[in-house]
């Protein structure tokens, strides 16, 4: 079993979530409100290690009414600092890593009240990871990137909906919203479309597997 999983991302018209220099201010106020309402809906919010390190997001609910979800990071190498903002509340942080990691390395996180899940060898087994979250009581999962994490979840057939907001800007180069190393053919069906802030377009897709 796995949680119902929604990927949320805001991207440029050419499918980028950040420039090569790290600029990533793409959202408008209505988009932020949608993002935070989805966080309030979710039992947990998940990001990849690179996103956690580069953005240091709190992943809390601030522009909506609701409780804060669990904050989860996929980190095969255990490279994320335990001092990240997302881990600031004891008992609310989860790291998913591999079975190769030593108890000593894991204790750096558990001593700070961060739960650690081992799933897979060499790389994180995303199917096992989501199953472990389900066993922890997570029924609704929001994914906020980055591109490699989104690719892996789509590749493994673990995404139920894809929510994309297209910002009226072109980057030309930068980080892709879905970033993989092999072709990924997935059909989508449009569930809804909404114009935000007079120029942003919010699209909600279901995934065809």
pLDDT at 43: 98
Q: Per residue of the chain (209 residues), what is the pLDDT tens digit? A: 999 999 999 999 999 999 988 888 899 999 999 999 999 999 999 999 999 999 999 999 998 888 999 999 999 999 999 999 999 887 789 999 999 999 999 999 999 999 999 999 999 999 999 999 999 999 999 999 899 999 999 999 999 999 999 999 999 999 999 999 999 889 999 999 999 999 999 999 999 98
Task: Report all structural domains of the chain as residue ranges with CATH numbers, in order of start.
Answer: 4-66+126-208 (3.40.430.10)
pLDDT at 185: 86
Phi, psi of 147 (to 5 degrees): -60, -35
CA distance 77 to 70: 21
pLDDT at 63: 86
pLDDT at 22: 84
pLDDT at 21: 87
pLDDT at 179: 94
């Amino acid at each position: 079993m796995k949680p119902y999983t929604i990927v949320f991302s805001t991207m440029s018209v050419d499918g980028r979530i950040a420039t090569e220099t790290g600029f990533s201010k793409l959202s408008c106020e209505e988009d932020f409100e949608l993002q935070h309402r989805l966080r309030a809906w979710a039992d947990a919010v998940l990001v990849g290690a690179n996103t956690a390190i580069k953005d240091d997001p709190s992943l809390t609910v601030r522009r909506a009414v609701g409780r804060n979800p669990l904050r989860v990071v996929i980190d095969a190498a255990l490279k994320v600092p335990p001092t990240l903002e997302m881990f600031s509340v004891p008992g609310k942080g989860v790291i998913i890593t591999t079975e190769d990691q030593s108890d000593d390395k894991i204790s750096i996180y558990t001593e700070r009240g961060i739960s650690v899940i081992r799933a897979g060898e060499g790389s994180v087994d995303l199917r096992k990871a989501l199953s472990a979250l389900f066993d922890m009581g997570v029924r609704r999962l929001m994914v906020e990137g980055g591109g490699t994490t989104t690719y892996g979840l789509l590749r493994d057939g673990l995404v139920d909906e894809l929510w994309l907001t297209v910002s009226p800007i072109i980057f030309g180069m930068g980080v892709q919203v879905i970033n993989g190393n092999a072709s990924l053919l997935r059909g989508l069906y449009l569930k809804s479309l909404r114009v935000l802030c007079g120029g942003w377009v919010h699209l909600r897709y279901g995934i065809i597997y």
